[in-house]
Amino acid sequence: MPLSHWRVRFADDAQEYTLQTVVETMPYVEDPLPEQERAEIRTQVQHLTVTAEEAGQRLDNFIHKRLGDMPRSRIYRVIRKGEVRVNGRRAGPEQRLAAEDRIRIPPVRLPAPGEPLRPAAGLLKRIEAAIIREDPRLLVLDKPAGVAVHGGSGVSSGVIEALRALKPGESLELVHRLDRDTSGVLLVARNTATLRTLHALLREEGFEKRYLALLAGKWNLGEKRVDVPLRTDTRVGGERTVRADPSGKASVSRFRPVQFFGRTATLVEVEIDTGRTHQIRVHAAHAGHPVAGDEKYGDQGFNERLRALGLTRMFLHASSLSFQWPEGGEFSVNTPLPADLAAVLERLAADPKAPVMAGRSPRSAARRRAR
């Protein structure tokens, strides 16, 4: 498979870095994942007790393990309607369960047994090719854009359903999530103990997650920490919409310019201390520089200009992830910028207005230190 390269450089007060990305020519294509018609059965009320092995799981994941053929969107709906009870009380999908918690699952409709719903062959092939590392605890993927991490919201299958079909008998669970339109590093736990360990690290902000994003306009804010709470529970026209709000959950993103493309756009590296839904997209828009290709929070005129340069999706890529295992040892993985995004940067760089490289001169750095 042919390879192309995209190199960008950036500097800080101490030293200069070079970021080299090697990309495979893999076009961004959305797999058609039509829902299949199947007979349904109605289950009985289930009363379950959380075991010590299951403790620490989110409620939505606990329910999904028992109703695996039920789309996530329907699971969330049942939980939010208050039909699922934890120790006799309503609970949110993100609630962590403790050993001996009593869970009530209401009657629901599920596909009839004996008619397994297998993901499309094209999706299976793409996800198998996306696996970049395997060990006894984890599967690491370079998730392609256009593929949901799980079924629901109009798609019958996503990454996790495809992996379970490829590796039957394994207890696979998503460690974290990426938006459907976002590419890059995605971790999948191969056992419950690993899932619990990594979820604890996520809660303690023990992950270092970095993204590459192309933003509208020239970023003049330098290295910027955006500490803006986000409300992730609002809906507009039935669609989830995240907004900056003092009553929201604490959310922190750190933006660092990598390369300027005149006044048109800026390539930035973003490190997130928290992992809220749509966090980078909302924080970037809040700072006045929305993500290129973002149809929900972005700038329509800017998106149209980038489409003319070949951008067919949101320019957001999960480029690296690292953490320390509690028992010792570092985990680190990097994924290259996909070819479709690298091509957009090349076209931007070819503009008659030569891009200005990000970074500070030693003289300006010395002045700042003197102040």
pLDDT tens for 125-172 read 999 999 999 999 999 999 999 999 987 655 668 899 999 999 998 989
Give the position of tokens 């999908």. 93
pLDDT tens for 170-193 read 989 999 999 999 999 999 999 989
Task: Specify the pLDDT at position 251.
Answer: 93
Spatial contact of 144 and 313, defined as CB atoms under 8 Å apart:
no
Q: Report how far residue 66's alpha carbon sits from residue 156's, in angstroms, rounded to the nearest whole number.
A: 17
Domain ranges of the chain: 1-23+205-371, 42-110, 117-189
Task: Specify the pLDDT at position 28.
Answer: 39
* Amino acid sitting at position 20: Q
> 334 is written with which tokens?
């990097």
| Domains 1-23+205-371 and 117-189 fall in the same CATH topology | yes
Select which of 31, 60, 142, 179 is catalytic.
179
Catalytic (active site) residue 179: yes
What does each C-alpha distance from 115 to 26, 38, 40, 112, 268 come to in angstroms? 33, 8, 10, 6, 47
Closest CA to 214 of 274, 303, 276: 303
Spatial contact of 241 and 295, defined as CB atoms under 8 Å apart:
no
Q: How far is CA 103 from the centre of its chain?
A: 29
Spatial contact of 162 and 155, defined as CB atoms under 8 Å apart:
no
What does each C-alpha distance from 300 to 31, 235, 297, 305 come to in angstroms? 25, 21, 9, 9
Q: Report how far residue 145's alpha carbon sits from residue 161's, in angstroms, rounded to the nearest whole number.
A: 16
Helical segments of the chain, H only = 59-66, 72-80, 121-130, 159-166, 192-203, 279-286, 300-308, 339-349, 362-370
Closest CA to 309 of 266, 349, 355: 349
Residue 361 confidence class, pLDDT cut points 50, 70, 90: very low
pLDDT tens for 83-133 read 999 999 999 888 999 989 999 998 887 765 555 567 889 999 999 999 999
Q: What is the mean pLDDT of residues 25-38?
A: 39
Closest CA to 20 of 367, 342, 294, 250: 342
* Amino acid sitting at position 249: K
Q: Please, what is the end-to-end C-alpha distance for the chain in angstroms?
A: 52
As assigned by CATH, the class of the 42-110 domain is: alpha beta
Q: List, in order, residues 6 or more apart from 317 with CB less than 8 Å away.
A: 182, 183, 184, 211, 212, 213, 335, 337, 338, 341
CATH for 1-23+205-371, options being 3.50.50.60, 3.30.2350.10, 3.40.228.10, 3.40.47.10:
3.30.2350.10
Instruction: Please report the DSSP string for 6-38 in residue order.
Output: EEEEEE-SS-EEEEEEEEE-----PPP------
What does each C-alpha distance from 70 to 67, 139, 143, 269 come to in angstroms? 5, 24, 23, 37
CATH 3.30.2350.10 is held by the domain 117-189: yes
